[in-house]
Amino acid sequence: MINNVNHFLEQERTDPHKAEPDSRIKNFNEIYGHFKQHEAESQAARCLDCGNPYCKWQCPVANHIPEWLKLVKSGNIFEAAELSNLTNSLPEICGRVCPQDRLCEGACTLNDDFGAVTIGSIEKYITDEAYSRGWRPSLNINKEMTDYKVAIIGAGPAGLGCADILIRNGIKPVVFDKYPEIGGLLTYGIPPFKLEKSIVRRRRAIMQEMGVDFKLKTEIGKDILFEQLVNDYDAVFLGMGTYKMIDGDLEGADLDGVHQALPYLISNVNRELKGDNDFIDMKNKRVIVLGGGDTAMDCTRTAIRQGAKSVTCVYRKDEASMPGSKKEVANAKEEGIEFMWNLQPLKISRNNNELIISTASTDLKADAIIIAFGFAANPPKWLSDYGVDLDSKSRVIVKDKLEDFAFQTSKENIFAGGDMVRGADLVVTAVFEGREAGKSICKYLKNLIKS
Ligand SMILES: Cc1cc2nc3c(=O)[nH]c(=O)nc-3n(C[C@H](O)[C@H](O)[C@H](O)COP(=O)(O)OP(=O)(O)OC[C@H]3O[C@@H](n4cnc5c(N)ncnc54)[C@H](O)[C@@H]3O)c2cc1C
Ligand code: SF4
């Protein structure tokens, strides 16, 4: 074990091996490899244990980061996994997809002068490594299973976070999703080069072993009525995400060859999961992606992997204002994506075989355009018909995280969290809200016992 307090001076920050751009754009595999044990131990040993763990306070789920770094440093991988899985329901996934530069690692004391501790990669390493050595989460904090049953609508990060807390507290969660696989946008949004789908399937197996019941290919409001669900279960959690695509009222957005980001990304995942049916192929095309967030970056990097002739990302503001993860922008640049900043698209038109994007200063030509302007909340009508209150942006209104029953909606037995409450955001914030709602549901059901 490394016990030198100045280790961070001798050992620089190192990320796991990253595949070279030329080779990685030929496939959809994750671009980062795995730490070997000695690498993880040496990177974990860079933590100063500075006493006031800013990293933890900047982590939405308040992970016990210094504590699990210490366990990794001393080779206690099972204990590290147990601790890591206690505060985060999807640690190996957040380790892969969190924008660490503006969360935990951005707050690390070493960040400015020496390079932050590689917190995300170590978080991923802990569960991957422990799982491969046979570790499974312990439920020893659970007492007896109760008779309570809670319905969860949506198997995305929010729903999974809620299910994790409930099962650990002896309450049976039944998770409904209209898709055939769990994960929500983890499966049908985030591309495999950031998160391979086998990782989500492994989490499904872990949760099923824990006792979570998944009822997939079941759409609430269509296959089962919401009223019936509310009647059949002691409480309901809503984690249905935000899926209304914003097109900025751009003229020409409905032309042939112009695609919305999510159907484009889903078609690519579906090709991997179930064959070719609705595949949108960018092979040999000049592709322009409009937008500057993580979704835009995912589209550019998917198109280049499909064999596009060229891929250009057009963003209306400057590079510094791009809202997505800096790491992903850097990865896109390495993979040959061109960037054009400060260009506001005014309209799209077609000239024979070409699409034209008009901006105030220039016209851009493309064979295909992908619009990645983001997502707005679009809860189904049956939700407000039932009396669940929404705000002016159609987000579900819930009690504040500091209130007694955090994430409870205007109906006392219905709770909500994730993107449909906060608007399109992050995996880790959805996990946090699902977990907090799960704790409130436990408290709510405990009160029911008394009455
Ligand atoms: C392309 C893309 C890339 C992203 N990349 C990142 C990233 O790198 N890092 C990051 O932190 N975040 C990223 N995000 C954001 C992140 O994926 C979301 O914030 C997160 O998934 C939200 O979780 P959620 O559980 O609230 O909703 P979702 O993940 O959207 O899950 C909602 C689930 O509810 C189900 N559902 C909805 N209605 C019904 C119904 N009536 N009946 C049954 N099931 C229903 C849906 O099928 C879905 O599975 C990305 C988002 C996109 C679109
Ligand atoms: S969950 Fe995200 S923010 Fe928290 S420690 Fe892990 S990578 Fe960092």
Delimit the domains of the chain by residue range: 7-132, 149-242+377-450, 245-374
| Ligand 2 pocket test target in 93, 428, 429, 432 with most atoms within 8 Å of CB | 428
Least distant ligand from the CA of 97: 1
- Of the candidates 112, 108, 173, the one whose C-alpha atom is nearest the C-alpha of residue 142 is 173
387: CA distance to ligand 2 center in Å? 35
pLDDT of residue 274: 66
Q: Tell me which of 3.40.30.10, 1.10.3720.10, 3.50.50.60, 3.40.50.1980 is the CATH number of domain 149-242+377-450.
A: 3.50.50.60
Query: 241-274: string of b/e by CB count within 10 Å (b at 16+)?
Result: bbbebbeeebebbeeebbbbbbebbbbbbbbeee
Q: How far is CA 20 from CA 283, 329, 334, in A?
A: 21, 16, 9
Q: Output the six-digit token pair for 190.
A: 């985030």
Alpha carbons within 13 A on the beta-carbon side of 441: 37
- Rounded CA-CA distance 185/180 in Å is 13
- State phi, psi for 286 to the nearest 5 degrees: -90, 115
Task: Give me the sheet containing 338-340, strands edge to edge.
Answer: 258-260, 368-371, 286-290, 310-314, 338-340
pLDDT band at 423 (very low <50, low <70, confident <90, very high): very high
Lining ligand 2 with CB less than 6 A are 59, 61, 63, 65, 88, 94-95, 98, 100, 103-104, 119-120, 123, 428
Q: Model-level pTM?
A: 0.95
Q: How far is the CA of 185 from the centre of ligand 1 (A)?
A: 4
Superfamily of domain 7-132: Alpha-helical ferredoxin (1.10.1060.10)
pLDDT value for 44:
95
Q: Quick count: other Cβ atoms within 10 Å of Cβ 403?
A: 11
CA dist., res. 152 & res. 163, Å (int): 8
pLDDT for 330-368, tens place per residue? 999 999 999 999 999 999 999 999 999 999 889 999 999
CB-based pocket (< 6 A), ligand 1: 97-98, 153-159, 176-179, 184-185, 189-190, 194, 219-221, 239-241, 262, 265, 294-295, 298, 380, 418-419, 424-428, 430
Whose tokens are 């492994």? That residue is 202
Answer whether 149-242+377-450 and 245-374 agree in fold.
yes
One CATH from 3.10.20.340, 2.60.120.260, 3.50.50.60, 3.40.47.10 for 245-374: 3.50.50.60
Greater pLDDT, 414 or 270: 414
Which residues, 6+ apart, have CB-to-CB distance to 197 below 8 Å? 181, 183, 187, 269, 272, 273
Determine the average pLDDT of the residues in 275-288: 86
> For residue 298, how far is its CA from the centre of ligand 2 (angstroms)?
20
Q: Which atom of ligand 2 is nearest to the CA of 65?
A: 5
Q: What pLDDT is stored for residue 401 in this prediction?
A: 84
| Top mutation candidate among 15, 59, 160 for ligand 2, by most atoms within 8 Å of CB | 59
Digit-coded pLDDT (tens) for 389-409: 999 999 999 999 888 899 999
Mean pLDDT over all residues of the chain? 93
Residues contacting 434, CB < 8 A, separation 6+: 89, 157, 158, 159, 160, 161, 162, 163, 164, 165, 237, 239, 417, 418
Distance in Å, CA 398 to ligand 2 centroid: 24
Q: Specify the length of the chain in residues.
A: 451
**Res. 273: pLDDT tops 90:** no
| Per-residue model confidence (pLDDT) at position 450 | 41
**Which contacts of 10-13 are long-range, i.e. CB under 8 A and separated by 24 or more positions?**
11/42, 11/43, 11/45, 11/46, 12/114, 12/115, 13/43, 13/46, 13/110, 13/114, 13/115, 13/116, 13/117, 13/118
**pLDDT value at 23 more than 50:** yes
pLDDT of 284: 97
Report whether pLDDT(448) > 90: no
Query: Do 287 and 303 form a contact (C-beta atoms < 8 A)?
Result: yes
| Closest Cα to atom 37 of ligand 1 | 240
pLDDT at 451 over 50: no
- Spatial distance between the Cα atoms of 187 and 200, rounded to a whole number of angstroms: 7
Nearest CA to ligand 2 atom 8: 104
What is the pairing mode between strands 149-153 and 235-238? parallel
CA of 2 to the centre of ligand 2 (A): 24
pLDDT in tens, 127-183: 999 999 999 888 765 567 899 999 999 999 999 999 999 999 999 999 999 999 999
Pick the ligand that lies closest to the CA of residue 435: 1
pLDDT > 90: what percent of the chain? 83
Q: Given a cut of 70, is residue 276 above it in pLDDT?
A: no
Average pLDDT estimate for 63-72: 97
